[in-house]
Amino acid sequence: MRWTLLCRVVDNFGDIGFAWRLAADLAGRGEQVRLAVDDASALAWMAPGGAAGIEVVAWEAATAAGCDVLVETFGCGWPEAVAAELVARAARPVCVNVEHLSAEPFVERSHGLPSPRFTVGGEPLPTWYFYPGFGDGTGGLLREPSLLQRRAAFGDGRAWLAGLGIERRRDERCVSLFCYPNPAADGLLDALSIEPTLLLLTPGSATRQALELLGPGLRRGSLRALPLPALSQVDFDHLLWSCDLNVVRGEDSLVRAVWAGAPFLWQAYVQDDAAHAAKVDAFLDRFLAGASTGLAAAVRRLFSTWNGLAGAVAAPDLGAIDRAEWAAHSLRWRDGLAAQPDLTSALLGFVASKR
């Protein structure tokens, strides 16, 4: 089928990050994809070289003519020309709005519902809501067909790190940091500095905060930190696969940390009305179902602190968590999710049912 994917970059990397991953997964399965985006600049480092089967065009150059499926990401709307084509019935693709990821119960209720838009004359232009999610009855999570095999074959990441000129010492734990500005960052660095730790800093806010808090030497106690360059999405996965703990944010990096199968600490995208508190809670309800009471309490406290939901700025308490239990639970949860259909397969099936 021929797909047009629409993406508007609001801020950060999540909008284009998700849109590119979906485009690449579709193209990898033999679909033809045109990705229309209002700011493609991040693709220069996220997807250098592009991918076969994907054409990237400017937002204004988007057209629904000749396409079978029109996907709007995160309610970004349609470019004027596309809206005009749809109103004039010059094109009749299946229209889908792929929404934000959440573990909240409304996702199951809303997934697959029609979201009719209307022409000025009141004629309906049906669009379907498609909600990514963690459970049955949602659109699932992006997971390319070979992802878990590639992850299993990757090994412990020492060779990949060496390719970046980074030598991980024998006794060091390896931690990645991708975060928003976070008042609890100082406490996290304290908690990490108690034992030999190599902290790998992603560009932007993680590196900025580490430099402010650790100084130019980037050391504290037994912790040494190293700034990384912006990585391609493929190498960002490699980073997560190389670490014992991944500190991630937003949506797409959370999903990739889940597939890495190692413990992760998630910072939700902060919303003014504190809507992220419910998001974090709902996620933890799912992630911790089946965990021991002790692990569940300690992980919940850690996530609350890191997300600023624990009252006064408290220090993230990594020491309270049984690490082996956390690792085994993360792996079990990953394997359970991997038994569910992935987002792209679910989307292909959904579109087929609407044609």
Minimum distance of ligand TRH from residue 44's CB (angstroms): 11
User: What are the beta bridge partners of residue 128?
Assistant: 96, 114
User: CB of residue 222 vs ligand TRH: minimum separation in angstroms?
Assistant: 25
What is the token pair recorded at 130?
């498609």
Q: Does 331 bind ligand TRH (CB under 6 A)?
A: no
Nearest Cα to 56, choosing from 72, 44, 73? Answer: 44
By CB under 6 A, residue 238 contacts ligand TRH: no
Q: In what order do the strands lie in the sheet with 264-267?
A: 219-220, 223-227, 197-201, 173-177, 245-249, 264-267
For residues 94-113, which are near ligand TRH according to CB under 6 A?
Answer: 100
Q: Residue 43's closest CA among 20, 24, 61, 76? A: 20
Cβ proximity to ligand TRH, 132 vs 250, nearer residue: 250
Answer for which of 59, 130, 131, 178 binds ligand TRH (CB under 6 A) is 178
Q: Residue 162: exposed, middle, or buried by beta-carbon count in 10 A (0-12, 13-18, 19+)?
A: exposed
Among 147, 166, 211, 230, binds ligand TRH (CB under 6 A): 230
> Rounded to the nearest whole angstrom, what is the least distance from the CB of residue 257 to ligand TRH in the complex?
9
**By C-alpha distance, which of 281, 258, 300 is closest to 104?**
281
Question: Could you tell me how many residues of this chain bind ligand TRH (CB under 6 A)?
Answer: 21
Does the annotation count 55 as an active-site position?
no
User: Residue 89 half-sphere exposure, CB side, CA atoms within 13 Å?
Assistant: 2
Does 80 participate in catalysis according to the annotation? no
Nearest-angstrom CA–CA distance, 188 and 108: 34
Closest approach of Cβ 269 to ligand TRH, in Å? 4
Contact 192, 274 (CB under 8 A): no
Q: x/- string (CB under 6 A) for ligand TRH, residues 246-285?
A: ---xxxxx---------------x----------------
Q: Is 8 in the site for ligand TRH (CB under 6 A)?
A: no
Phi and psi torsions of 320, nearest 5°: -75, -10
Altogether, the residues listed in the chain come to a count of 355
**In contact, 142 and 149? CB cutoff 8 Å:** no
- Pick the closer one to ligand TRH by CB: 287 or 295: 287
Show contacts with ligand TRH in window 42-61 (CB under 6 A).
Answer: 46
Torsion sign (Cα): 303, 307, 311, 315:
positive
Active-site pick, 85, 251, 252, 342: 251
Complex with ligand TRH: residue 68 or 144, whichever CB lies closer? 144
The minimum distance between CB 122 and ligand TRH, in angstroms, equals 32
Active site residues: 15, 251
| Contact footprint for ligand TRH (CB under 6 A) | 10-15, 17, 46, 100, 178, 202, 230-231, 233, 236, 249-253, 269
